[in-house]
Amino acid sequence: MGLLPCAFLLGLLLLLGQGTTQAHTSPGENTLEEQLWPEGQSLKSFSFFCNSENVPSPGSSVPSNSVHSLRPSDIKFVAAIGNPPDSGTDDLEKQEWTEKQELQACMGVVTVLSDVIRYFNPSVLKPICPLGTGAVGRAAAEDLWIQAKDLVRNMKENQQLDFQNDWKLINVFFSNASQCHLCSSTQQQSHVTSSLDQLTRTLDYLQQEVPKAFVNLVDLSEALRGSHWHQKTLLSPTAQPCRCSGETSRLSSVVTQWAYQETWERLLASSKYNEQESFVVVFQPFFYERALPPPSGEQPFQDPTALGLTLWNSMLQPAGQKDEPFSAKERPLKCPSQENPYLFTYRNSNYLPRMLKPQVKTEVRDGAEIRCSDKDPSDTVPTSVHRLKLADIKVIGALGDSLTAGNGAGSKPGNVLDVLTQYRGLSWSVGGDQNLSSVITLPNMLREFNPSLKGFSVGKGTESSSGAYLNQAVAGARAEDLPVQARRLVDLMKNDKNINFQEDWKIITLFIGGNDLCDVCDDPVRYSPQNFVDNIGQALDILHAEVPRAFVNLVKVLEIINLRKLYQEKNVSCPRLILRNLCPCVLKYDDNATELASLIEVNKKYQEGTHQLVESGRYDTREDFTVVVQPFFEKVDMPMTPEGLPDNSYFAPDCFHFSSKAHAHAASALWNNMLQPVGQKTRQHNFEDQINITCPDQAWPFLSTYKNLVQDYGSQLLCSDRAPSASPPTSVHTLRPADIQVVAALGDSLTAGNGIGSKPNDLSDVTTQYRGLSYSSGGDSSLENVTTLPNILRKFNGNLTGYAVGTGDANETNAFLNQAVPGAKAEELVNQVQTLIQKMKSDHRVNFHEDWKVITVLIGGNDLCDYCTDSNLYSADNFFDHLRNALDILHREVPRALVNLVDFMSPSIMRQVFLGNPDKCPVHQASILCNCVLTPRESSQELAKLESITRAYQSSMRELVESGRYETREDFSVVLQPFFYNIRLPVLVDGRPDVSFFAPDCLHPSQKFHSQLSRALWINMLEPLGRKTDTLDLMADIPLSCPAQIEPFLRTPRNSNYTYTTTPAIENWGSDFLCTEQNPSNSVPTSVHELRPADIKVVAALGDSLTTAVGALPSNSSDLPTSWRGLSWSIGGDGDLGTHTTLPNILKKFNPNILGFSTGTQEETAGLNVAAEGARARDMPAQARDLVERMKTSPEINVQKDWKLITLFIGSSDLCHYCDNEEARSAEEYVKYIRQALDILYEQLPRAFINVVEVMELADLHQGQDGKCVMPLPAQSNCTCLQGSQENLPEMQELKTVNWDFQSALSTLSYQYLQREDFAVVVQPFFQNTLVPLNKRGGADLTFFSEDCFHFSERGHAEMAIALWNNMLEPVGHKTTSNNFTYSRTKLKCPSAENPYLRTLRNSQLLQNQADTEPPVLSWAVPVAAGGGLVVGVGAVMTWRALRGRQNENSPLSLNTMSF
C-alpha cells in the first residue's frame, strides 16, 4: 500500500531534536497536549499584522452559512488526524515514547494554526490530535479511519464546541511510500486515483458525520522523501516499487510534480466533496524548493511552526494557484484580503483545470522567404574563415541546453507535460524540420543557400536519438557540461561518412548559461563567472584544437531577469510552481533583494566574460577557425500583448522554454548577427518586431569576423623598424612607439565614437557609441581594415592593451580605457580622469607603475555649443581651470605617461556643413544640441563672440601646456597635437560640403573622417614641436609616417629641442573693464532695490587690519607694518582699475566722481575708511558712529540724498583671541555688536547699501611652510589661538565650530532691515568656503600674501575686490560662496540689461523661507585660508602635508573638510 498517515510529524520531531518544546515533567499540572505544545507559544516570536478591517471584533459578525465563504474568524476548532504506522517493535516502552513524540509534533502544527486563527477569533478552542492505537501491522488507511472516528467522538463530547453549528478546520495528513506520484501521464493518474480511493472511507465518514467542516488534505510525500528518518524508523512498510517510464531529469521531476498536484486538484474539484455548502475537501500540497533538501540529507525544518505557517498560507491561496514551495525560511504570513476574505475552495477560486488536453487544431507556424540575389558559394572553396560565404557552409551543429534541444517548442498551449518532449527539429540554431516556408531556423535559412547542408536535427528525441544528428545539446545542461558535448560532437563529425571532416566548412552554435544563472545563488562558487567562462573555454579549446574549417557562434547568455515579469503577472496563466523550481535564483527573491542585485551582476559578468574570452584572440590563431560572439540576447525585453501583459505565446506551456514562435525569432536574430560587422551587432532583439531576414552585403558577402570587419578605411604601415627600446625606457623623451603598452582616451562624443558606423539617413543610430572605431582609442579589427591610433600602435606592439572594441557606453567592459562620455564638458573631465586611473590601477592587464601609456584628451566642443547660454560658466578661464585640474591629476598620479592634448575642431566647420546641406542635415535637432554654434547669423555679433571664445579656448590650451607645468618629471609629458586647428572641409563638384565625412546628424565625424583623424594624430606624434602640422585636409591621401631613424621617438618638448615662449611678467594687478552698461538711473532712485552701480556717490568701510590693508606692499620695517589703505580691496582708491583692482576703482568706471575712498598710507587720506588694526566686533558700534560723524561733517557729501555703499568685514581678531576668553567670544556676542553698528547706520543714514562680508575660516593654521615663510613673533602674538595648532587639535576643532557659528549668525542679518525702502543689508558670502591659491608646482601661492605670512598682498586684495563685486551682482540665494584665486584681468562681472541693479533680497525675488539654496563651491586641491584681521594662507599647506598621510581620498578638499 502506498498511502501513509501523519507519521511525518514524528519524523519532524526526530529531525528537530532539541528544537521543539519539551513536555512538562510535573504530572497533573497540565494536560498531555498542553505539556507537549503550550498554547500561545507557537507564534510568540512571530510578527503577524493583518488589516484591522478584516479582523472582526468579538461577536460582531455572524458565521458564514457556506464553507465557500468561510472566514478565519468563523472557525471555532482545529484538529488533525494521521497516525504513525507500525513502529516495527513490540517494545511497549519504546512504542509509548514514539507515540508521545508523534503527538508532540502534531500538536505543534495544529497549535500554530489555532494561534493564527485566534488572531481573528479569540474564542477558538484548544486543538486536538487524536492518537491512533498503533496496532502492529495495521494498514495506514484503516488507522486513519479509526483516528477520524476518535476525532468525531472527541468533538461531540467537547462541551465547549457546538458540534452542529461551529465551523471546524480538520487537517488530514498523508504521504506516499512509493514514488509513483513522480511518474507522468497515465501512471500518475492511476496512482492518484488509487490514493484517493484509500482515503475515501475516511473522507466519506467525515463528510457524513461532521457538519460545517473545512478539510485540508495535506500531502507530505515530498517533505519526507529521502530522509534518513524515513528509512531508520520504518515509517512505512517497504516502499512499493513504481517503475516510471521516461526521463528523470530535474525538468521531468518538476513538471511531473506539478502535474501530480494538478491531478489531485482536478479529482477533488470534480468530486462529491466539493458539492455541499457545509463540507469541503481541499488539497494542500507541500513541495520543496528545488534547492532543498540539502545534499547531506538533512531536512530543512526548524520546527513545526514552519509547517503550520506554510499550511496557513496555502489555505489563503486560490485553488490551482498554490505555487509557493515549502521553505524553512521565514515567510511573510498571508492575510485575508478585502476582495477575498475567505479560505479558498475550488468553487470560490473559480478553479479550472490547467492541464488541458492537446488541441485538435494544428498550430499554424509562420514561415519566411529569403529574397537575396546572391545565393552562390565562393568561386573556389575558401581557405580563410574570414572569406566565408553562407553558401560555403556544408555542416551545421550545436551545443547547449534545453533551449537548443527544443523542449516544448512544438507543445500545444496548456499541455505542460509535453514540455518534456524535445522538438529538436524546431530548434532555432540547428533544427531542420520541413523548410523555411513553414519553420524558421538557422539550418532552414542556410538550406536556401546550400540545399545539401548536413547536420541539422529533425523530429523529436534526446541527443542520443537518430534525429538529433549534430544537435548535441542536453536538456538541463550547464556550462560545465559543454566539454563533454563538444567531445561527442567532434567524434560524431569525424565518424560520419557523409561529412568530409577536413574539407567541409562547418557552423557550430554554442548557447549556454540559463541553468547556471538559475542555480548560482545555491552554489556561487560552482557557478561563478570565472568557472562559467573557463568551462566554455574548455569546450571551445576542443573545437579549436580538433575541428578544421569551422565558424563558431558563441551566443551570449540572455538577460534572464525579465523572466520575473512573466512569473509575477497573475493575469497570465503560467505554472508558477514549475517556473520557481526550474529557476529559483531568479524568481524566489523580492524585487529589492540583494540576492537579485547579485544575480544581475553575475549575469552581466557572464556576458562580459564571454566577450573577453573571445576577444583575447585565443581562437583567431588559425586562418580556418574563428569564434564570434553573437550578442543579440544581451538585452531582452519581455514581449508584451496589446493589453500590456507579458505575451506567453512566445513560451512553451511551462512559461520557461521557447515556443516555436520564439525559436523563429531567435533564429532570425542569430542570422542577422552573423552578417553584422563586429562592433556593430545588434545587442537587443525585440521579439515583438516582425521577423526580418537580411541578405549579405553584395560588396562584402562574408560572415562577419573580428578580422574582416571593414575594408574601406584601412591603412598600410611600411615602417621596417618596429622594435622597442633595448630596455624599457625610464624617460618619456626616449619613448618609441613599440614601448607603448597601454592606450587610453578621455573626452566627449567624438572620442566615444557616436555615429561612426551609422548608415546614411539612420539618424537614430547616432546615439550608438562605436568605440571600437574611435580615432584615438578604437581597436576593432586590424589596421588593414580600420585606421585608429591603437591599430597603428599594435603594428609595433602586438600586446598593446587598453583600446576599446565594439559599441557601448563608457561603463561597458569593451570600452576598457576609452572613458569619454557623450555630451561631456570640460568640467566633467576630472571625473573621467579619476575613473580612468581607477581602471588602470585595478585591471590585471595593466601594470600601472611599469607600463608606458599614451592618453589622448579631446574636450571643449560641448562647452562652445553652450557658451551663449552662460558666458561666465563657459568662459575661457573656467575651461582653463577644468582642463588644468584634470591634467594635474594625471600628472600627479599616473607614472610613465605621454598625454596627447588634441586641439578641437573649429565650430565654423560644423556651420559650413549645415549651411551647405540644409536638405541633408537635421538642422532643427542639431540646433537644439549646439544652439550657440548653429543659430547665430553670419556676420552677427554672436558669431563674432563665438569665434573669439574659440580662439580664447585654444590659447588657454597652449598657455597651459607651454607653462611647463607638466614637464617636471622625467616620465611624464603633455604634448599639444594641433592637427585639428585648421580643417579643410571636402567639397563636392556642386560646391557643397561632402557630408559622407559626417554621421547622419552632420555633427559627428563618420568613419571616413575618423580614419583621417587617426592618421593626422599619428603624424603629429612623430613631428617635433615647433614643426607640427596644424592643418588637416580631409580629402588628402595621408600616408602613415615612420619614426625617424636617428631619433625614433614620440616627440616631446625636450627631444624636439623646443623651448616654450615665456609669459611676460605681470606688471600690476589691475583688471580690464568690459561692461557696456555704465549709466546711472534716469533719475536718482528712491529705492535701494533699484540701485545701479553708477548711482553710488559715496563709499565707506568698517573693519580691521584687512580693510586697512596692512602689508599689501613690502615694507622697509618689520617692526612697524604699514597700512596701505589706498590699496584696500573694499575702500582703496589709489591709481585706477587698470593698475589696482579695488571696489572704488571699479565704481569709478561707473561714476568718476565717487567720494569716500582711501588713498596712500596716511590717516589723513583714509577718507571714509574707519577700519582699525586689531579691531574686533565690539569696536563696530564705535566705528559706525565715527563713520556717521565723518559723513555728516563732510562738505562734499549730501547725507540725505547721496547713495552710500558701506562694507563691513570683521571677526578674525575675535576668533584669534577666542581661546583667551571663550565665554565672552560667543557667536551671540559677536553678532550683537555687529547688529548694534548696523542699527546706528540704519537710524542715522538714509540711502545706504550695506555689504556685510562673512568672516573667513581660520581653523588648522600652521605657523610656516617648509621654512620659506615664517611668521614673525609680533604676528604670532596677534593671533594667540593659532599658536601650537597641531599640538591641540581638540581646541582647533572648537575654534572651527565657533568660526562656522559666526558665519551662520551673520547669514540672517539681511532679513532684519527690511522696513525701509532706501536701506538694505546684504550678506556677501564669497569667503564662506575660502580655497587656497596654488602655484605651478601645486604648493600655496605666496604671491597672494604679505611678507608676514598673514595679511593679503596687493594681488590678494585685488582678488577680494573682484569677489566682492561679483557677489554684489549675484542674486541673494545664488551667490558664490568661494573665491577663485586665479589670475585673469577679465573676471569682473557686468550688470545685465535685465538686472542692472545691485542685488538685494527683494530684487532677487527671494522670500525669507526660500533662502536655503546652497550655491556651488569651487574645489581646489588644497584648503586655504586667510584671517580677517590676520590672514594666513601659507600655514594651511603645512597642516595639509602633515595630515596628508591620514587622508584616503584623492578628491580636492575645501574648508568644509579641512579648515584652518
CA distance 1427 to 1352: 9
User: Which distant-in-sequence residues (6+ apart) come within 8 Å of 590 by Cβ?
Assistant: 596
Q: Which of 303, 504, 516, 780 is catalytic?
A: 516
CA distance 1303 to 1301: 5
Query: Could you confirm whether 1301 is annotated as catalytic?
Result: no
User: Which distant-in-sequence residues (6+ apart) come within 8 Å of 357 by Cβ?
Assistant: 414, 415
Place of cell 479560505: 343
Query: Could you confirm whether 924 is annotated as catalytic?
Result: no
- End-to-end alpha-carbon separation of the chain, Å? 88
Please, are residues 937 and 863 in contact by the beta-carbon 8 Å criterion? no
Q: Which helix (H) or strand (E) holds 510?
A: strand 505-511
| Distances in whole angstroms, Cα of residue 579 to Cα of each of 357, 647, 654, 813 | 21, 16, 7, 31
> Closest by alpha carbon to 1113, among 1357, 1354, 1361?
1354
Q: Which of 64, 402, 1071, 1404 is catalytic?
A: 402
CA distance 1279 to 1270: 14
Rounded to 5°, the CA angle 996-817-855 comes to 80
Cell numbers that stand for 791 in this block: 591599430
Query: Could you confirm whether 386 is annotated as catalytic?
Result: no
> Closest by alpha carbon to 1422, among 1436, 1406, 1442, 1403?
1436
> Closest by alpha carbon to 1452, among 1425, 1404, 1420, 1413?
1420
Place of cell 611678507: 1347
Q: Which helix (H) or strand (E) holds 1334?
A: none
User: Which distant-in-sequence residues (6+ apart) come within 8 Å of 418 by Cβ?
Assistant: 358, 408, 411, 412, 653
Q: Which amino acid is at 1033?
A: D
| Distances in whole angstroms, Cα of residue 650 to Cα of each of 442, 460, 478, 660, 673 | 18, 20, 23, 7, 21
Q: Which amino acid is at 550?
A: A
Q: Which of 68, 544, 657, 1357 is catalytic?
A: 657
Cell numbers that stand for 431 in this block: 533544427
CA distance 122 to 76: 9
Pairing verdict, β 213-219 and 279-285: parallel
CA distance 147 to 315: 23
Please, are residues 1229 and 1215 in contact by the beta-carbon 8 Å criterion? no
Place of cell 523548410: 435
Counts for the chain of helices (H) and strands (E), in that order: 38, 23
> Closest by alpha carbon to 512, among 472, 561, 458?
472
What three-state secondary structure class fits 1252?
A: strand
CA distance 818 to 753: 10
CA distance 212 to 219: 22
Cell numbers that stand for 953 in this block: 579656448
DSSP assignment letter at 1345: B
CA distance 489 to 478: 16
What three-state secondary structure class fits 395?
A: strand
Give one DSSP letter per residue of 420-431, joined into a string.
GSB-GGG-TTTB
Q: Is the dihedral of CA 923, 929, 931, 934 positive or negative?
A: negative
User: Which distant-in-sequence residues (6+ apart) come within 8 Å of 442 by Cβ?
Assistant: 396, 428, 429, 430, 507, 509, 667, 670, 671
CA distance 790 to 811: 20
Query: How many other CB atoms are there within 10 angstroms of residue 691's CB atom?
Result: 17
Examine residue 524 and say whether the peptide bond preceding it is cis (omega within 30 degrees of 0): no
- The residues carrying an active-site annotation are 402, 516, 657
